[in-house]
Amino acid sequence: METFRTKIPNHFSLPKRINRLGELAYNLWWSWNPDIQRLYSLIDKELWERLEHNPILFLRHVERAELNAVTNNRYYVDQYDSMFREYDSYMNSENSWFDRNYAQMSDQLIAYFSMEFGLHESLPLYAGGLGVLSGDHTKEASDMGLPFVGVGLFYTEGYFTQRITADGWQEASYTRRKFDDLPVILVEDETGGPITVTVQLPGRDVYARIWEVRVGRVPVYLLDTDFEKNANADRSMTSRLYSSDLDLKISQEILLGIGGVRGLRAMGYDPRVWHMNEGHAAFLVLERIRELVTEGISFDEASEKVKLNNVFTTHTPVPAGNDEFAPWLIDKYFSYYWPELKLTREQFIDLAKHTVDWGEAFSMPVLALKLSNGRNAVSDLHGRVTRDMWNFIWPSRRVDNVPIIHITNGIHTGTWLARRLGHVYNSYLGSDWMEHVDDEGMWERVNNIPDEQLWEVRRHLKRKLVAYVRELARKRWLRGGSQPIEVVASGALLDPYALTIGFARRFAPYKRANLILRDQERLFEIINRPDMPVQIIFAGKSHPDHEGGKLLIQDVYRAVKNSESGGRLVFLEEYDMHLARYLTQGVDVWLNTPRRPNEASGTSGQKAALNGALNFSVLDGWWREGYNGKNGWAIGDEVDYTTSALQDEKDAKSLYDTLENDIIPLYYDLRSSDNLPGEWITMMKESIRTLAPQFSMRRMVKEYLLDLYLPAMPVERNQEPVQE
Ligand SMILES: *Cc1c(COP(=O)(O)O)cnc(C)c1O
């Protein structure tokens, strides 16, 4: 029974006729419904862009006259009424997918813990793909009507803002956000005071408040320490995401895992399934055991019991990428805790012991793997790599019997689909196509879309991308302080008609952003043919403490600045969800060049595919499953190389050959009588038809439900679920 309240702050003064815009600003449902976003942007487009599509800031700053104007606009108020009818029916529906299939299980709450939630660019709670996946998962849980709550941390400064200096060096800066400016609502008890949780850190208690973010029907609860009750040093504990300071890191993970469980309890929640998205949240298993041990149950019995409802997803294919702590740090933070579990130090360390190159580590994934019953990796190949990596936990099992399954990642359709293409899908796939987005048969109807119509939308989306990037470049030039070459590097010379390739992701060395630059002479020759120009847009951040990633950005930037590139190579600063939408919707080809098998899944290429861009990637992660020979292109072969130098060389050659011999000629081949690249469009339809259903978040969440959540729910025998 929930015992708390959340009240939407009311700090807007809006005309009565449209005053529900204030309420909607506090439900991120608007963020995946582009027609709803227009209710804001139509009022004052320029202001909406300037304020990073943040409806709260927007409503606070918009001129009263602009608000009055739309209330007198017949078209606007009709739209407003129809959108709010849709919103109310979404929020109050008792006929969701979950209701129709699992109505009797609506009290089986799933609690989903993640260090990051990528919900929208205005909410700085994510760094990259892991966060975007959590955000997409949460939105789909809402769409499907799952009994679901998210748990995370609230970062007032987020990850960081990226600037690239004239010589290509990444500089990081931090902006502090105000709670008042964001769609977060303080969780209060019945008397109106904030509900707080306490965790013990060396020599002191630390307190956290809880904020609710409404994601459609699903609440996400975020803990934050930045308030008076804490000592100054602890108030900044939750300011930033992914610090390299070990004390800060373990403190954040204690707050997420242990504080998160306590927060849910304080609000009166009693989850039946506990899902840890990546190892950061693994301390939650300890807290759940401690709860039972305190009631007098033995450690062994308690751990067997909690294990049944724990689910763990791992995303990290390289041992070095895993979250692990040195024993001295565990002593420092947990010596008070293991007696509460009735364990000795040695028994406690043994729960998560992992022998690594520098000695014995306390490994978060080991802790989560040992104390969960449901475990998964995020693609087929990643599953194999993961079972091999953790085989030592189950020494008597052969590698293929290691109990870790795989569920390949997907993307949330509403969040990533371009508005205008969505309208085309509405016309040709049937108006309720989104309810069947994972149905492969339904997607056959893509073939009914006339080529001209699909091509016209694609051209529109590319023009929109190019116009947007050039406008950014112009603003930069106008602001002053930039050298001309920086304006060129940021896209001033982009051509709205040239074949456009996108490469945007975190700059981790295994992703090999510079693979396409290995033979620059050849590349410059290929992209500068007057009759078949090609342009490549790069974007992405490196972790601020990671020199290797920053050097990689510099390497790319050097090629971008080279006059021989003809301004056809571009690097865009500040890759975030906003830029990701523009790029995945606007480019023709999405490039991904990870060093196989290091890409656990990847999802950006799935966003591109949904929008009609073609993938050109290494057969790793999701693309190894998606590629069928007719829906895009592969780089290299599906083989394991002995050295990475050899792999890089082979992959680069394959990349240039395919680009030059297949991709460019296909795009510029207008032989058909209607002046359209007919074969390209055929490939595009094949790509949409095959990839959109298979890599939808709907397919993914159904698999999580069937393979991991339902088995973890303590169901009575007479409550067997009915399946659709
Ligand atoms: C989708 C997305 C990612 C994931 O990209 P991959 O390279 O496919 O892992 C990262 N960052 C942002 C901002 C995204 O939108």
Return phi, psi of residue 681, to 5°: -65, -35
Query: Encoding tokens for residue 521?
Result: 């002479």
- For 20-40, what is each residue's pLDDT tens digit? 999 999 999 999 999 899 999
CA separation, residue 448 to residues 421, 428, 462, 682 (Å) = 14, 7, 23, 12
From 116, 120, 132, 611, give the residue whose CB has the most ligand 1 atoms within 8 Å, as the site to mutate: 132
Query: Encoding tokens for residue 185?
Result: 């609502």
Give the C-alpha separation, 618 to 624, whole Å: 8
Q: Are 123 and 52 in contact (CB under 8 A)?
A: no
Residue whose CA is at the smallest distance from ligand 1 atom 12 = 128
Q: Are 143 and 122 in contact (CB under 8 A)?
A: no
Cα(540) to centroid(ligand 1), Å: 9
What number of other Cβ atoms are within 10 A of residue 419's Cβ?
A: 13
**β-bridge partners, 571:** 538
Cα(505) to centroid(ligand 1), Å: 6
Residue 715: its pLDDT value, please?
66
The string of DSSP codes covering 694-719 is HTBHHHHHHHIIIIIIHHHS---GGG
**β-bridge partners, 221:** 151, 212
Q: Are 149 and 218 in contact (CB under 8 A)?
A: yes
Residue whose CA is at the smallest distance from ligand 1 atom 2 = 129
Cα(132) to centroid(ligand 1), Å: 7
Whether a cis peptide bond, with omega within 30° of 0, leads into 597 is yes
CA separation, residue 272 to residues 246, 261, 311 (Å) = 32, 12, 11
Cα(10) to centroid(ligand 1), Å: 34
Give the C-alpha separation, 117 to 283, whole Å: 19
The string of DSSP codes covering 274-299 is EEEESGGGTHHHHHHHHHHHHTT--H
Cα(493) to centroid(ligand 1), Å: 26
Residue 277: its pLDDT value, please?
98
Cα(224) to centroid(ligand 1), Å: 26
**Strand arrangement, sheet containing 614-618:** 569-572, 534-539, 499-504, 589-592, 614-618, 632-635
Cα(427) to centroid(ligand 1), Å: 29
Atom of ligand 1 nearest to the CA of 504: 7
Instruction: Give the closest residue to 197 by CA, choosing from 237, 256, 155.
Output: 256
Cα(133) to centroid(ligand 1), Å: 9
Cα(697) to centroid(ligand 1), Å: 15
Cα(253) to centroid(ligand 1), Å: 23
Q: Are 491 and 470 in contact (CB under 8 A)?
A: yes
Residue whose CA is at the smallest distance from ligand 1 atom 1 = 604
Query: Encoding tokens for residue 256?
Result: 């997420």
What residues contact 100, with CB distance under 8 A and at least 6 apart? Answer: 724
Atom of ligand 1 nearest to the CA of 599: 9
Residue whose CA is at the smallest distance from ligand 1 atom 4 = 129
Residue whose CA is at the smallest distance from ligand 1 atom 11 = 128
What residues contact 636, with CB distance under 8 A and at least 6 apart? Answer: 596, 618, 619, 647, 650, 651, 654, 655
Atom of ligand 1 nearest to the CA of 604: 8
Q: Is the dihedral of CA 368, 370, 375, 381 positive or negative?
A: positive
Q: Is 420 exposed, middle or buried (0-12, 13-18, 19+ CB in 10 A)?
A: middle
**What domains, with CATH codes, occur in the chain?**
16-92 (no CATH), 97-406 (3.40.50.2000), 438-695 (3.40.50.2000)
Instruction: Give the closest residue to 330 by CA, choosing from 253, 388, 252, 250.
Output: 250
From 139, 315, 505, 582, give the residue whose CB has the most ligand 1 atoms within 8 Å, as the site to mutate: 505
Cα(607) to centroid(ligand 1), Å: 9
Atom of ligand 1 nearest to the CA of 603: 8
Atom of ligand 1 nearest to the CA of 133: 1
Query: Encoding tokens for residue 232?
Result: 């100054």
Give the C-alpha separation, 212 to 185, whole Å: 5
- For 512-522, what is each residue's pLDDT tens digit? 999 999 999 99
Instruction: Give the closest residue to 443 by CA, choosing from 683, 699, 628, 693.
Output: 693
Q: What is the pTM of this model?
A: 0.97
Atom of ligand 1 nearest to the CA of 540: 11
Give the C-alpha separation, 56 to 27, whole Å: 11
**Residue ranges of the chain whose pLDDT lies below 70:** 1, 672, 715-724
- For 649-672, what is each residue's pLDDT tens digit? 999 999 999 999 999 999 998 776
Give the C-alpha separation, 304 to 40, whole Å: 51
From 415, 543, 604, give the residue whose CB has the most ligand 1 atoms within 8 Å, as the site to mutate: 604
Residue whose CA is at the smallest distance from ligand 1 atom 6 = 602
**Residues enclosing ligand 1, CB less than 6 A?**
128-129, 132, 505, 575-577, 580, 602-604, 607
Q: Which long-range contacts (C-beta less than 8 Å, at least 24 apart) are formed by 348-355? A: 351/286, 352/282, 354/322, 354/324
Atom of ligand 1 nearest to the CA of 605: 8
Cα(378) to centroid(ligand 1), Å: 14
Q: Are 312 and 368 in contact (CB under 8 A)?
A: yes
- For 117-168, what is each residue's pLDDT tens digit? 999 999 999 999 999 999 999 999 999 999 999 999 999 999 999 999 999 9
Atom of ligand 1 nearest to the CA of 581: 15
Cα(129) to centroid(ligand 1), Å: 4
Helix (H) or strand (E) holding 534: strand 534-539
Quick check: helix, strand or coil at residue 50? Answer: helix
Residue 718: its pLDDT value, please?
44
- Which of the 8 DSSP states describes residue 597? T
Atom of ligand 1 nearest to the CA of 576: 13
Residue 634: its pLDDT value, please?
98
Cα(603) to centroid(ligand 1), Å: 6
Q: Are 208 and 196 in contact (CB under 8 A)?
A: yes
What residues contact 131, with CB distance under 8 A and at least 6 apart? Answer: 114, 115, 116, 117, 118, 125
Atom of ligand 1 nearest to the CA of 579: 13
